[in-house]
Amino acid sequence: MTLRRRTPRALALKGDKDMSNGGAALFRERDLLSNFSSLKYDLQQSDETRPLYTIPQSSYPVVSSDVHRALSEVSNMALPGNYTLMTDTIIDLLGLLKETFSPRTWREAVLPAARTHAVASLMHECPFTRHSYQRPRGYAGDAGLIDFVYRHPAARAAQEAATEAGRTVMAFTVNVTACEAVRERRSILAAKIDEAAARRRSPTILSLACGHLREVELSIALNEGRVGRLLALDQDAESLAVAGEYRGSVSHAIEVQQATVRQILAGRTDLGRFDLIYAAGLYDYLDARVAARLTRVLFDHLNGGGRLVIPNFLWGVREEAYMEVFMDWYLLYRTSAEIQDFTDEIAPAAIRSKRYSEDAASTIGYLEIERI
């Protein structure tokens, strides 16, 4: 028990506030954990001083029993045909468990126990949650998953094919804080495209790890033919096939090219120079060293006065534990300072301005760097 808790901001801000339906307050009060045989939980200690619990491997069955009992209690909150309260409370419970046990115990004992509970099958009736867990394209966070988040028509068939229970769970999961932030990110990036067209006539734009490129649907400048070139880059050929369809429906300025981050870092791609470069969700999966190096390489592809926009999820996403347990979806969360450190490999003299901002809920941070 030598590690200390790093309390996520979202949980700290939420505190012990009752939900409108009265559900999650049970777990915000921590009463349930006082019944965990695997813990000696001191409710008098603050979150800042309470230790993270590392449980010996020999006691993992006790942890599993505790987790199963807690999830069974939450499952009893389900109403006929309505799993909103249950899902909401599961998110809070898993978040509390992740904030109570050490990373090793969470990974080796708590998470496997939650995945083997019967409620996992119900969560996977949600087509959004199941798609993430099954990784149909072989990697986490694919563009098909993000279409669920966008509530895009492309995801409608899978939603309609789900069970009634799955649809009711999804009605909640696609409206959580993290998903709201991703939808807002789409709008922010579309606005950046329009800003580029306002600054410069027929700007050249690069979308890195473009996915299905859904932000172009929202860009006024693209739809009005005021963008000279938008190069959509991704490693996934299936994503590029979808993105390429926008050439006919949105703008002939759109081009697609298959490439990996490794190829870009090695200089094996002929990209050209751009007035705007953005990478919607890529940095959430890059370690700090690769992120800094990629930032420098992308910055070198900017025209004078060009801008590089990098979003990254911040610490404190309430749904983080749910995403790990039932969606097998892991992101690299960062502080505002860590996001701003992406510029470490760029010569300061080459930077005209560096701006940091956050979305409305302070869920995603945005770094915008302008080249001299």
> Tens of pLDDT along 199-209?
999 999 999 99
> Tens of pLDDT along 252-291?
999 999 999 999 999 999 899 999 999 999 999 999 999 9
Decide which of 125 and 3 is more confident.
125
Average pLDDT value over all residues in the chain? 91
Residue 67 and residue 38: Cα distance in Å, rounded? 10
131 close to 158: Cβ distance less than 8 angstroms: yes
User: Exposed, middle or buried: residue 235 (CB in 10 Å: 0-12, 13-18, 19+)?
Assistant: middle
Of 151, 253, 164, 147, give the one whose Cα is nearest residue 203: 253
Residue 192 and residue 200: Cα distance in Å, rounded? 12
Helix (H/G/I), strand (E/B), else coil: 38: coil
Kindly report each contact of residues 111-118 with a partner whose C-beta sits within 8 Å and lies 24 or more positions away, as own/partner. 111/324, 111/325, 112/64, 113/63, 113/64, 113/67, 113/68, 114/67, 114/71, 114/325, 114/326, 115/325, 115/326, 116/64, 116/68, 117/67, 117/68, 117/71, 117/72, 118/75
> Tens of pLDDT along 310-367?
999 999 999 999 999 999 999 999 999 999 999 999 999 999 999 999 999 999 999 9
Of 248, 323, 330, give the one whose Cα is nearest residue 286: 330
pTM above 0.75, yes or no: yes
Least confident of 13-22, 54-63, 165-174, 298-307: 13-22
Of 371, 207, 351, 227, give the one whose Cα is nearest residue 302: 371
Output the pLDDT for position 3. 37
212 close to 244: Cβ distance less than 8 angstroms: no
Residue 190 and residue 184: Cα distance in Å, rounded? 10
| φ and ψ at residue 371, rounded to 5 degrees | -85, 145
Output the pLDDT for position 42. 60
* Angle subtended by helix axes 127-134 and 164-173, to nearest 10: 80
pLDDT > 70: percent of the chain = 89
Residue with tokens 């409206």: 175
